[in-house]
Chains A and B, each alone.
Chain A
Amino acid sequence: MLLLFLLVLIVPVLLSWPLGYAMARVIEPGRGSGFGRLTSGVFSKVGGLAAVEEQEWQRYLFSMIMFNVVMFVFVTIILALQQWLPLNPDAKGPLEASLIFNIAASFVTNTNLQHYSGEVSMSYFSQLFGLMWLQFVSAATGLSALAALARALGGKKTVGNFYSDLMRTTCFVLLPLALLVALLLLAGGVPMTLDGAVIAHTLENATQTIVRGPVAALEAIKQLGTNGGGWFGPNSAHPFENPSFFTNMVACISIVLIPMAAVWMFGRITGRMRDAVVIFSVMMALLVLKCGAVIWLEGAPAPALAGLPVEVVSNLEGKELRFGYGAGALWAAMTTATSNGSVNCMHDSLNPLTALVPLAGMWMNVVFGGVGVGLINMFIFIIVGVFICGMMVGRTPEYFGRKVETREMTLALLALLVHPALILGGTALFAATPAGAGTVLNSGAHGFTEILYEFTSAAANNGSGFEGLGDNTVSWNIATGMVMLLARYIPIILPLAIAGSLSEKKPVPVTAGTLRTDTLLFGLIILGSVVFIGALLFLPVAVLGPVADHLTVNMH
């Protein structure tokens, strides 16, 4: 068990260091680099001068939103036409309109909340050319936004070119890694075929229709890009997505790899590696804490079996045996630390108190977080930390040598409040009306947690779910679709605006009185602002949901 724990945490940390270096070199090749010139040449042929020229942060954002609109429209068309498009061996029919909106919003925003079951509703064409394509470019969008933020904080007036960043990260970071992981998954037994379902005649003379598909390709980028949208309904709990202990390890490491490397990429682009070490340590401390807590809580047996003649072992409801004891819980912690959202066990069937850990991870949404955007979220907490420290010593706060003033703080607070407003507002509305209350599977506090989890997952752009919830309704599709869009773009736009505004200021000289942001002390301050501001906002709902659920179980 301990070995598993170490393997899953230490291997990605070790791999993230060289990967972070490579990512920084790819996205920021420098003027003298042959790679940079060659790719810029190709990109200008592909997209014209607009795809290579230097952009100020406003224009960068404009390009990003423009491309994301195009992504949304393209995937909507593919999904709406899927019954007439090729690569549909199992003859999947049309999708309902509000579901199409939800899927498009979900995959464009890197969330991958799934109100459909892939093997029931999706053609191979929709999965490969709609969803899998978005799994690449939505992840690349996040990494590009982080690169722009890092450049602005590094003091540059122009922050690169969005299209170049997008194509560089897609072709030279995500694609090679996805190929590597896909090959490992193939070796581990994941199917990869364009053939349709096969009908088996079982040993007891029943028939079983076995749906297959080109799973390995999608599976790789699903994990690497913190997407999480699987080929099949049960996601990585399905034996075709995740057939063995080995594939489970590969997937688990892929979940955190790029989010970890993104911190080092940030350090290299800003030229402040010591700051990156501090940020990385804070995230790592929270991740270890989450993993430890979840394994401990999920080690308890299922309360429903208490007193029955059953061997007492850890809760096995909703888990697969081949990943080994503790692997489901560990995955639950990692997939909600990053904004991945794939699952290898059913979160609805986690022990009542265990559910707090994935929820807390998504409330904070900065424990490495989504590719690129996790660190962008953390930037807001850093700014808040800097501000609080400045107030305490009575000095104008500074970050990276620039004064943080009213304009920046206003934007930071707005960015900070979007997340709780969407989660708490949405949960309140749906818990109080039949739109939500009528769709829960489990009763009482657990049912409330199903609603809370759904909005949390949408707002954190995570995509995992308490799947007992009957969430494929028009109201759920539209509500979570809107939440995902708002929760994706506002927390990218506002931080970039802050960084852009900082970069326009004159640098202030470092003196003995300057608050250093690359020290252990400042690490603790960030940790404090994440825990006290990020997580404690959610204490009331935590008590109403998982805690009440836990207490009512153990009271009778």
Chain B
Amino acid sequence: MKTMLTFRNFIRQSAASLRILPFTVVICSGLYTVIVLLAAQVVPYSATGSLLCSEKGEVIGSELIGQQFTRPEYFWSRPSAVSWNAAGAGGSNLSPASLAMRQRSENLLGAFALKKGEKAPADLVSASGSGLDPHISIASARFQASRVALARGLSIDQVMRVINDPACGKITIALLNESLVNVLQLNRSLDRLQK
């Protein structure tokens, strides 16, 4: 204990700490970051945020980031507690047993104009964790298909074909056999179909 508290030891230890500091910063924050940045050049599309562009070259969003859809001719995303703010994401943080969540869900259900006996998929009344979930379940896509078909003047079969087309945003989680649809890609495919 005595040797530890000598002034000389204090100086030696501080000197060591202060010299090791820049050494580790250069390695961990500098070198490491540069290597990963260089590797990212191999995958420029996803490394810059999987951005999707219109034909005019304007960014319309990111494949990974959900956005708001309110018009009847578009499939709607899952509820977002932050209004799809991709510069300040977050969930509702409501207790799943709270009155607040029940009231919010009732309001959402009102917008769906359910037929008698019809049930809405749960993902369409549950806010996502990030508020930016780009997907809806395949059941939610089917659920919205008739509204979209009507608004676009398409047959339900035509809309269903787009939903089930992997080129239009459908993914399947192989291990779990669950299917999801990327809402932005689906809506963009429909827009292209009708142009």
Contact = CB atoms under 8 A, between A and B. Distances in A.
A204 B33 contact: no
A170 B28 CA distance: 8
Interface string B116-148: 001111110111111111111101000000000
Q: Give the most central of B67, B84, B180: most A CB within 10 Å.
A: B67
B176 A4 contact: yes
Given A48-B15, A70-B17, A198-B49, A167 B59 contact: no
B65 interface: yes
Interface of B: 1, 3-4, 9, 12-21, 23-25, 27-29, 32-33, 35-37, 39-40, 42-43, 46-51, 54, 58-62, 64-71, 74, 78, 84-102, 105-106, 109, 114, 118-123, 125-137, 139, 171, 173, 175-176, 178, 180, 184, 187-188, 191
A203 B191 contact: yes
Given A310-B125, A346-B129, A468-B93, 20 more contacts: A50-B15, A136-B24, A166-B20, A208-B61, A209-B85, A234-B90, A237-B128, A240-B64, A302-B126, A304-B105, A311-B119, A317-B94, A319-B126, A349-B91, A441-B94, A442-B93, A442-B94, A442-B100, A549-B95, A553-B97
Interface residues of A, number: 116
B97 A549 contact: yes
A348 B95 contact: yes
Interface string A115-131: 00101100000001100
Closest CB pairs A-B (n = 6): A237-B129, A468-B93, A302-B96, A192-B40, A346-B91, A316-B126
A127 B40 CA distance: 18
Given A305-B105, A309-B119, A309-B120, A62 B13 contact: yes
A204 B29 contact: no
B104 to A, nearest CB: 9
A66 B95 contact: no
Contacts of B15: 47-48, 50
Contact of B122 (A51, A313, A349, A442): A313
Contacts of B109: 308-310
22 contacts: A50-B15, A63-B17, A117-B88, A167-B20, A170-B27, A186-B47, A197-B87, A200-B59, A202-B60, A203-B67, A208-B67, A234-B90, A234-B131, A302-B97, A304-B94, A308-B125, A310-B121, A312-B122, A317-B96, A443-B98, A446-B98, A468-B94
A238 B132 contact: yes
B131 to A, nearest CB: 7
Contacts of B13: 50, 62-63, 66
Given A63-B16, A136-B24, A310-B120, A303 B97 contact: yes
A239 interface: yes
A186 B97 contact: no
Nearest to A350: B96
Given A3-B175, A59-B3, A197-B87, A202 B68 contact: yes
B88 A239 contact: no
Interface of A: 1, 3-4, 7, 46-51, 58-59, 62-63, 66-67, 69-71, 74, 117, 119-120, 128-129, 132-133, 136-137, 163, 166-167, 170-171, 175, 178-179, 182-183, 186-187, 189-195, 197-204, 206, 208-212, 214, 216-217, 220-221, 232-234, 237-240, 243, 245, 301-305, 308-313, 315-322, 324-325, 328, 343-346, 348-352, 441-443, 446, 466-468, 549, 553
